């Protein structure tokens, strides 16, 4: 992995062709990985002249220069996942396999067997098919053909139904998952990752072109079980590069350490979200237009897509019982907390009927959006989806973060309550954005829960690859002690009673916010002074 200030950054290497229109190929891979928070390096195998009308020209990069690019990247950088796109010749396939034998990657090889562009232009000839089947596929951890590519790879069989796709996935898997995996490469991989290696190759047959289907149906097969993955089919011309993007997203999630099926589901939901958002964007005059990977080009789109860890600074967790005690509505309480300086709000409602909770969530969301403050829903993913809240916070006994990510998609915020190192590490693997660690101190809202104290909080923070907010019994008298700890990923404190079990939420929130800001400035000055002194 790439080292930056001591942190390991997930790294995908894309070996593919360049698209001058930037909708597919290397350009799509770069944008998709960036959107998923993963570094992407590139090896270009072909250069195309293309736009939304089609491919006007293809120039294959000489094999020796492909080899030189591979050596440059793999000899210097620790790559977690290699993702392939257009491999225009048998010799390029051999060059890639030789490079991977010399410089093994940490996690996986994702093969997207691109042979024809979205517009129907041939990018790799039929002569490459045998090389794919006999040499590349057996080394892959997952192959991701669409139905046209799957048909070509299997000798032209017709794929017109979901049952046909299942049969194709099984036949592709039977081509020999890892049968040619060299013993030495296996030894090196096991040594690097320190665990048993999954011997199953995985196959994802993409059904975007499946005739007469109202849904976008993909079939995932891991050698033991078929999974039928369905999402709504988005009606749009802006579909250029969806295959490249899906494969790159899978690679990105695998580079983060996510399981294979989770990676596939997250990638599929990401593509659906991007297509829905981009369906009316106008780029080019042709029928195969690109879509927006970053969800930022469309004017008037105000949702906050990228989670900012600094939002955890003053994390307000509501309590309906406390608000009733003081005779105020949840909406009024949320508005007062935000005006006082709350930087993120978690809506917690344990007793209300679902319909009432949903209406409250929508009303609170309107307030939060007007101030640009994220609103999360505690536990209830159904309410988060129905209200279009910015995300959810789940506990250890709730729906796993990986399942929540599959349902909510890549643009929503997911937080997980963690008390232990193991829970914190699992939250990162499962695709969470942050963790809430505690209870640091005892609390009236969860009186029977054991506390972890400041030492336990520090232990979890040091083990976590995610930003952390401290939770449990925190108030104006002890928040300073929490934030004094020298752990850079501790970003803030989550507070319940100290805000909402008070007569004036605005005053109490402002008081706590000012205290935290005073501590933040003092800490920044101390760090600056140490830097100047060279200590």
- The domain that holds 217 is classified in CATH as 3.40.1190.20
Among 278, 296, 325, residue at a domain's last position? 278
Is 290 within a domain? no
Question: 273: helix, coil or strand?
Answer: helix
> What are the residues facing 215 on neighbouring strands?
232
Q: Does residue 84 contact residue 95 with C-beta atoms inside 8 Å?
A: no
Give the Cα separation of 37 and 14 in Å (integer).
Answer: 15
Give the Cα separation of 420 and 257 in Å (integer).
Answer: 19
Give the Cα separation of 424 and 317 in Å (integer).
Answer: 21
How many domains is the chain partitioned into structurally? Answer: 2
Among 278, 300, 319, residue at a domain's last position? 278
Pair 49, 186 in one domain: yes
Pair 132, 230 in one domain: yes
Question: 123: helix, coil or strand?
Answer: coil
pLDDT of res. 407? 86
H-helix or E-strand spanning residue 110: strand 108-111
Give the Cα separation of 402 and 393 in Å (integer).
Answer: 12
Is 411 within a domain? yes
Residue 191, φ and ψ in degrees, nearest 5: -65, -40
* Nearest Cα residue to 74 out of 44, 102, 108: 102
Is 238 within a domain? yes
Among 237, 258, 278, residue at a domain's last position? 278
pLDDT of res. 447? 57
pLDDT of res. 465? 87
Is 377 within a domain? yes
pLDDT of res. 123? 58
Give the Cα separation of 242 and 450 in Å (integer).
Answer: 48
The tokens describing 221, both together, are 């097969």
pLDDT of res. 30? 97
Q: Does residue 437 contact residue 451 with C-beta atoms inside 8 Å?
A: no
The tokens describing 335, both together, are 């508005």
Pair 212, 259 in one domain: yes
Pair 195, 318 in one domain: no
Is 285 within a domain? no
Give the Cα separation of 13 and 125 in Å (integer).
Answer: 24
Residue keyed to tokens 């006007």? 56
Q: Does residue 342 contact residue 509 with C-beta atoms inside 8 Å?
A: yes
Find the helix packing angle between 25-35 and 242-256, rounded to 10°.
40
Global confidence as pTM = 0.65
* Nearest Cα residue to 205 out of 218, 222, 224: 218
| Active-site residue set | 206, 239, 241-244
- The domain that holds 383 is classified in CATH as 3.20.20.70
> What are the residues facing 218 on neighbouring strands?
206, 229
Pair 325, 368 in one domain: yes
pLDDT of res. 520? 78
- Residue 89 DSSP symbol: S
Question: 4: helix, coil or strand?
Answer: strand
Is 386 within a domain? yes
Give the Cα separation of 352 and 152 in Å (integer).
Answer: 55
Pair 272, 193 in one domain: yes
Pair 27, 144 in one domain: yes
Pair 241, 104 in one domain: yes
The tokens describing 306, both together, are 């990228």
Is 288 within a domain? no
Q: Does residue 220 contact residue 262 with C-beta atoms inside 8 Å?
A: no
pLDDT of res. 198? 43
- Exposure string of 389-411, with b = 16+ CB inside 10 Å and e = fewer, is bbbbbbeeebebbbbbbbebbbb
Give the Cα separation of 250 and 80 in Å (integer).
Answer: 12
Pair 111, 209 in one domain: yes
Q: Which domain holds residue 267?
A: 2-278
CA 374 to chain centre: 18
Q: Cis peptide leading into 439, omega within 30 of 0?
A: yes
pLDDT along the chain (535 residues), means of 10: 57 96 95 93 96 92 97 96 94 95 91 73 67 88 93 89 94 67 43 43 88 84 90 86 95 90 88 85 89 75 62 94 92 95 93 91 92 92 94 93 85 93 90 92 73 94 93 92 88 95 95 89 66 59
Pair 485, 366 in one domain: yes
- Residue 138 DSSP symbol: G
Sign of CA dihedral 393, 398, 401, 404: negative
Q: Do strands 142-143 and 108-111 pair parallel, antiparallel, or not at all (unpaired)? A: parallel
Pair 380, 313 in one domain: yes
Contacts of 164 (CB under 8 A, 6+ apart): 157, 158
Full DSSP string of 8-43? EE-EEEEEEEEETTSSSHHHHHHHHHHHTT-EEEEE
Pair 200, 333 in one domain: no
């Amino acid at each position: 992995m790439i080292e930056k200030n001591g942190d390991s950054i997930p790294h995908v290497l894309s070996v593919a062709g360049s698209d001058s229109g930037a909708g597919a190929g290397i350009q799509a891979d770069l944008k998709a990985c960036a959107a998923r928070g993963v570094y992407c390096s590139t090896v270009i195998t072909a250069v195309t002249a293309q736009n939304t009308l089609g491919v006007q020209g293809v120039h294959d990069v000489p094999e020796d220069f492909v080899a030189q690019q591979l050596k440059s990247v793999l000899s210097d950088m620790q790559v977690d996942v290699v993702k392939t796109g257009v491999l225009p010749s048998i010799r390029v396939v051999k060059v890639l396999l030789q490079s991977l034998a010399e410089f093994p990657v940490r996690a996986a090889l994702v093969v997207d067997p691109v042979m024809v562009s979205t517009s129907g232009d041939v990018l790799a000839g039929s002569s490459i098919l045998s090389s794919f089947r006999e040499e590349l596929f057996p080394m892959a951890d997952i192959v991701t053909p669409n139905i046209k590519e799957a048909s070509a790879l299997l000798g032209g069989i017709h794929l017109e139904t979901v049952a046909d796709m299942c049969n194709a996935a099984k036949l592709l898997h039977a081509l020999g998952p890892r049968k040619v995996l060299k013993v030495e490469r296996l030894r090196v991989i096991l040594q690097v990752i320190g665990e048993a290696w999954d011997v199953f190759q995985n196959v994802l047959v993409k059904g975007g072109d499946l005739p007469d289907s109202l849904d976008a149906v993909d079939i995932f097969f891991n050698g033991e079980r078929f999974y039928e993955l369905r999402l709504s089919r988005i009606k749009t011309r802006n579909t250029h590069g969806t295959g490249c993007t899906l494969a790159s997203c899978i690679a990105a999630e695998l580079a983060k350490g996510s399981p294979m099926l989770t990676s596939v589901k997250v990638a599929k939901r990401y593509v659906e979200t991007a297509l829905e958002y981009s369906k009316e964007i106008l780029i080019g005059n042709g029928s195969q237009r690109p879509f927006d990977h970053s969800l930022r080009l469309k004017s008037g789109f105000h949702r906050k897509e990228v989670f900012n860890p600094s939002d955890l600074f003053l994390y307000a967790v509501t309590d309906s019982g406390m608000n009733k005690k003081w005779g105020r509505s949840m909406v009024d309480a949320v508005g007062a907390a935000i005006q006082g300086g709350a930087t993120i709000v978690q809506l917690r409602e344990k007793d209300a009927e679902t319909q009432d909770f949903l209406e409250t969530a929508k009303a609170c969301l309107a307030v939060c959006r007007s101030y640009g403050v994220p609103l999360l829903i505690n536990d209830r993913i159904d309410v988060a989806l129905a209200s279009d809240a910015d995300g959810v916070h789940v506990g250890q006994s709730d729906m796993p973060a990986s399942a929540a990510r599959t349902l909510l998609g890549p643009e929503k915020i997911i937080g997980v309550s963690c008390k232990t190192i193991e829970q914190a590490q699992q939250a990162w693997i499962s695709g969470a954005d942050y963790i809430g660690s505690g209870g640091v101190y005892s609390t009236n809202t969860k009186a029977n829960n054991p506390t972890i104290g400041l030492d336990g909080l520090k232990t979890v923070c040091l083990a976590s690859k995610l930003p952390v907010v401290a939770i449990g019994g925190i108030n104006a008298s002890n928040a300073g002690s929490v934030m004094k700890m020298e752990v850079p990923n501790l970003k803030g404190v989550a507070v319940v009673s100290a805000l909402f079990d008070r007569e004036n939420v605005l005053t109490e929130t402002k008081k706590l916010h000012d205290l935290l800001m005073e501590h933040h400035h003092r800490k920044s000055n101390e760090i600056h002074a140490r830097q100047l002194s060279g200590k």
